[in-house]
Amino acid sequence: MTNRPKAIVAVTNDLTTDQRAHKICTTLLSLNYNVVLVGRLKKDSLPLQTQAYATKRFKLWFNKGAFFYANYNIRLFFFLLFSKQSLIWSNDLDTLPACFLASKMKSNTLVFDSHEYFTEVPELIPRPKIQAFWKKIEHFILPQLTKVITVCNGIAEIYRKEYNIDVKVVRNVPFLKASSPLSKKSEKIILYQGAINVNRGIETMVKAMQYIDGATLQLIGKGDISASIQELIEQLDLKDKIIMLGEIPYQELKNYTQQATIGLSLEENVGLNYQLALPNKLFDYIHAEIPVLVADLPEMNALVKQYQLGEVAQSTDPKVLANQLNEMLKNEPQLNSWKANAAKAKQELNWEKESEIIKEMLNFKF
């Protein structure tokens, strides 16, 4: 029996909700790799479900800031140094230092998978020194890479122009799975799923619920502003209209998504990363066949209009947003039309098709 080549896939999260990493690992398994997905273990991390690939979560001394990134990359580097992999898959810039150094020392194939334009995330924009530090890492390493993918055309174009490298676009779309749709609840549900972080438009969603009747808002996920969002809900006396469900493993998430009436993706126009955003939650909504209301940002605007999947937000004012949502919710014929369009769109926007780009990049021809 011949030994299968080993691939190590690195992320800085706790593996619980990372759908893209799961899809990458599944694709590598189909290419006969022995796959290990590496992340970190937090105090409140949920148990992981058993997968066909191995998982490892580092226990770290620090949970955020410069010490966390240093701690993680040191642990990852030595893990890679003493493992016998032939492929290293680096997810985002915060895993790249360790992955790049180990790949050079061990002559491993390195793939850099940029899920976002890391140096322009909202958390770094008000911190120019830290932003400059990550930009230097990007500037040093990216021109040396030959296998780079990212989630949208906007980020790909920036990397191509700035570093004169070939960048493939592999959108963060779900697997095309035939699943029996769950019987919908009679209540109308407005859904946001994703990180509860700054500049995601979550405060606006909450305030808009003051002016929306006959529907509830469900917030799925957790993040840096979870506590302040809960406080805002209580201040506005909206506990009966807004439910914070916390973090839900991606294997169970679709059961909640399918119950929704409308899915929200209202990222604010803060920094290039959000301007170019094409979030995986948008594709989750499409695959659940629910209409969407998205921010007026280039990539999302273009996708929603191309496939006629819903509407683009007219304003970030809570009252205007509420009025738009009320109009969408009461227009059943239009909701049904958007649902039908989503059912068609997912036949094109699915991981089975996107993963062919990965197979070609790794020189697998089928």
Dump pLDDT digits (tens) for 320-346. 999 999 999 999 999 999 999 999 999
* Same domain, yes or no: 259 and 330: yes
What is the total count of domains within the chain?
Answer: 2
* Same domain, yes or no: 126 and 36: yes
For residue 179, the model assigns a pLDDT of: 56
The domain of 229 spans 188-345
Q: Quote the CA–CA distance of 334 and 72 in Å, as a whole number.
A: 48
CA angle at 298 for the pair 266 and 261, rounded to the nearest 5°: 40
Structural domain contains residue 156? yes
Angle formed by the axes of helices 298-307 and 332-345, nearest 10°: 100
Alpha carbon 117 to its chain's center: 12
CA angle at 172 for the pair 336 and 346, rounded to the nearest 5°: 30
* Same domain, yes or no: 271 and 139: no
Using the Cα atoms of residue 304, residue 255, residue 208 and residue 173 in order, give the sign of their dihedral: negative
Structural domain contains residue 256? yes
For residue 2, the model assigns a pLDDT of: 55
Tell me the helix, strand and coil percentages in the chain, rounded to 5.
Answer: 45, 15, 40
Residue 258 near residue 182 (C-beta atoms within 8 A): yes
* Same domain, yes or no: 199 and 320: yes
Q: How many CA atoms lie within 13 A of 192 on its CB side?
A: 28
* Same domain, yes or no: 87 and 143: yes
* Same domain, yes or no: 12 and 139: yes
Structural domain contains residue 180? no
Q: By C-alpha distance, which of 49, 138, 31, 142 is closest to 87? A: 31
H-type alpha helices, 276-345: 280-287, 298-307, 318-330, 332-345
Q: Residue written as tokens 């859904």? A: 191
Residue 152 near residue 173 (C-beta atoms within 8 A): no
Which letter does DSSP use for residue 113 in this model?
A: E
Tokens of 84: 């016998």
Write the pLDDT tens digit of every residue in 58-68. Answer: 999 998 889 99
Looking up residue 315, the CATH number of its domain turns out to be: 3.40.50.2000
Structural domain contains residue 38? yes
Whole-angstrom CA distances from 148 to 5, 8, 100, 141 are 20, 16, 12, 11
Q: Residue written as tokens 């273009």? A: 302
For residue 183, the model assigns a pLDDT of: 58
Q: Assign residue 338 a region: left if phi > 0, alpha if psi is -120 to 50, beta otherwise?
A: alpha
* Same domain, yes or no: 163 and 19: yes
For residue 46, the model assigns a pLDDT of: 86
Structural domain contains residue 183? no
For residue 365, the model assigns a pLDDT of: 45
* Same domain, yes or no: 285 and 337: yes
DSSP E strand boundaries for the chain: 6-10, 34-41, 54-59, 87-91, 109-114, 148-150, 167-169, 188-193, 215-220, 242-246, 262-265, 292-294, 310-312
For residue 17, the model assigns a pLDDT of: 86
| Other CB atoms within 10 A of residue 95 CB | 24
Which letter does DSSP use for residue 50 in this model?
A: P
Can you give the pTM of this predicted structure? Answer: 0.90
Using 50 as the pLDDT threshold, list the residues of the chain that sit under it.
1, 365-366
